[in-house]
Structure 1
Amino acid sequence: MEFAFVSVRRLMLIMTFVLMSASLETPVDAGTASSAKAKRQQVTCNSRRSECFLKPVTCPVECPQVKPEDPMAKACYLDCYSPKCEAVCRKRKPNCSGTGAACYDPRFVGGDNIVFYFHGRSNKHYALVSDTDLQVNARFIGLRPVGTARDFTWIQALGLLFGSHTFTLEATRAETWSDEIDHLRFSYDGTSITLPETHNSEWNSPRNEIKLERTVSKNSVTLLIQETLELFVSVVPITEEDNTIHGYGIPRNDSFAHLEVQFRFFGLSPRVDGVLGRTYRADFANPAKPGVEMAVVGGEDKYRTSSLLLSDCASCVFTPGDKVVSLLRQYGMLSCSSGVEDGIGMICRK
């Protein structure tokens, strides 16, 4: 009996030791793996105009990295112009249903969150945004099949003017579309820019007021102009399915590669105008009412410019170098309530 008691006690001790070892090893291993896989970064804002100026903010568990290795993963993002110093998760490509988007034929989502279409004409240029110190023009490409009353158009290029600088971003022509070929071309102040075709590669202007970054290795980038705008861009083709459904009549030797874009503006002035820009004004009454399918707004004559980098449209207000206007923008901006779905839209502050 004594032998049996000792054996049972020894067996219980051994079992207890094994269980304790297992309980100690599992959390440590899991914790180490989790930490290595999802180490949460901290972000902050360098702008003195931000409520989050130099405040360290930890990224959410769901998106712990600012630049995730997986290009399809959501990234950690801190909105420096929001009163909340809170990091959120977001995709790094245009959201064509989000505020400030311009996609498809072209379909816009205004600063008032109302969806509208602006057709324009093929091979013409239009002011999407014209403000006191920012001008964003678009070049349209398109075609008009026999028997149709208008051109089918898409945004092929953007031209940005700010201060004394210019920046262009365009989709290059592709007879046959391939995801393995990059179809983006850039220039800064008239000089071509080379951006390596690797995920998260960057280019910065000489004074760092502009940052251009690939969100995937090809055909998608983000552009940031400090204190002015953030722009998400992707190049896409017209698919055979879309061609069939809409009857575009796309020829076999052209995929009509074009841009899908989404803008985020920082402190537009009360004078802002343009096809998209006017929708950010507090006094703008959008003729495209919510719920109206395929609502089309005009303005081709008001917003047509002579080229991609000119601000000579009838309603353009671009006046670079105006110090009075610049001060008004910084210290007398509107207090408004435009939609900011997905963190994209106009932020107005006093």
Structure 2
Amino acid sequence: MKGDLKCISGLYVGLVLTLYACTVIVQLDAASETKTCFQKKSPCFLKKQTCPNQCPSFSPPNGSSKSCVVDCSNPICKATCRNRKPNCNGKGSACLDPRFIGGDGIVFYFHGKRDEHFALISDVDLQVNARFIGLRPSGRNRDFTWIQSLGLIFGPNKKTFSLEATKAAKWDQQVDHLHLSFEGTEISLPKRDSSAWSAPGGYIQVERTSDINSVLVTIPDIAEIWVNVVPVTKEDNMIHKYGRPENDCFAHLEVQFRFFRLSPNVEGVLGRTYREDFKNPAKPGVAMPVVGGEDRYRTVSLLETGCNACVYSGGSGSLDKIEPLLLNQNTIDCTGGSSSGVGIFCKK
């Protein structure tokens, strides 16, 4: 009899624990946001994706380091986590002076020239130009350069958006060094994490990913751009012998792109690396493989679409030729284990 009571008691405890665990799981799932893919050509068309527990929100609260991302072009059709700031070691990134990682995953440097503009991306319906700042210490045969601003031209009506790091003599962590404008009009974005702005008609959205100096720019169905403003520090200056003056910390941008679609003929310093026929001239084994192209990608100004190799046409080209990009673009975060990847496994 006592044995039977112990058995019944054990079954009861097990049932209670199981019900409790199921309740917790349901509560966690309920707290996670979901999104459905409506892109008809997507392998995930009409499939609902739920954010992981490690990053339950697409726009997480202040202080969160990860947010949820849905990639409708990925056949796994599973929401994953991503860093909220540019990953300078991920594909589509442009950081430092400037160090790029192309769509082919190869690291290369493009120095350009200070106070000039170059097309990073030039496609049928999107062009992204960059203005370089820099200096040339005595005895050097080229400039040290950094990306100071981005100019975006997109869509059939050639909408324009610019984002720049404002000049500062000394870096102040409490000051917002970002200046944003849409169609030539300055954008006022509250200085708090997750504050957002959207253009009339929803052509472009901007969301802060920290209180100041970091944003995510989204052009729906075309691209996402993570941006962070940083200075050239005294340590950087000493290590690389930049010769940075005392009255300018060379505030500049760290950038990472994620594309939803690109045409097979995409061009630009970075854009060309996403082409299937691109052969990267960066020499393997070289510490700083410098890739040229200044003459091909130089533009007259930040918002000028013309260059020797530019292909932007305001979307007037055949949209049938624009294909979804099915590449893993490394905007993921691997701190949550293998489940954090977008179709890949994270390894230490």
Q: Which residue of 2 aligns with 1:8?
A: none
The structural deviation recorded for 1:201 is 0.7
2:213 to 201, 209, 219: 219
Q: Which residue of 1 aligns with 2:256?
A: 262
Which runs of 5 or more residues in structure 1 are unaligned?
A: 1-16, 345-350
The structural deviation recorded for 1:133 is 1.5
* TM-score for the superposition, normalised by structure 1: 0.84
Residues 139-218 of structure 1 aligned to structure 2 (within 5 Å): 139-163=131-155, 164=157, 165-218=159-212
8 Å contact kept, 2:32–2:50? yes
Q: Which residue of 2 aligns with 1:78?
A: 70
Distance 1:258 1:103 in 2: 9
8 Å contact kept, 2:127–2:154? yes
Distance 1:141 1:317 in 2: 25
Asked if residue 134 in structure 1 is aligned to residue 126 in structure 2, the reply is yes
8 Å contact kept, 1:120–1:153? yes
Distance 1:206 1:71 in 2: 29
Distance 2:97 2:16 in 1: 59
Asked if residue 326 in structure 1 is aligned to residue 322 in structure 2, the reply is no
Q: Which residue of 2 aligns with 1:247?
A: 241
Larger-Rg structure:
1
Q: Which residue of 1 aligns with 2:330?
A: 341
The structural deviation recorded for 1:209 is 2.4
Q: Tell me, what secondary structure is at the counterpart of 1:221?
A: strand
Identity %: 53
Which runs of 5 or more residues in structure 2 are unaligned?
A: 1-8, 334-348
* TM-score for the superposition, normalised by structure 2: 0.84
Q: Tell me, what secondary structure is at the counterpart of 1:233?
A: strand
Q: Which residue of 2 aligns with 1:56?
A: 48
Per-residue CA deviations over 1:33-53 (Å, capped at 9, x if unaligned) read: 995899322222343343334
Aligned residues: 323
1:271 to 259, 265, 268: 265
Q: Which residue of 2 aligns with 1:122?
A: 114
Per-residue CA deviations over 1:149-206 (Å, capped at 9, x if unaligned) read: 2110000000011122011011111111112111111111111111111110111111
The structural deviation recorded for 1:75 is 1.4
8 Å contact kept, 1:114–1:289? no
1:236 to 221, 224, 230: 230
Per-residue CA deviations over 1:266-292 (Å, capped at 9, x if unaligned) read: 221111111111111111110014443
Q: What's the C-alpha RMSD, in Å, of the aligned pairs?
A: 2.9
271-280 or 65-74: bigger deviation:
65-74
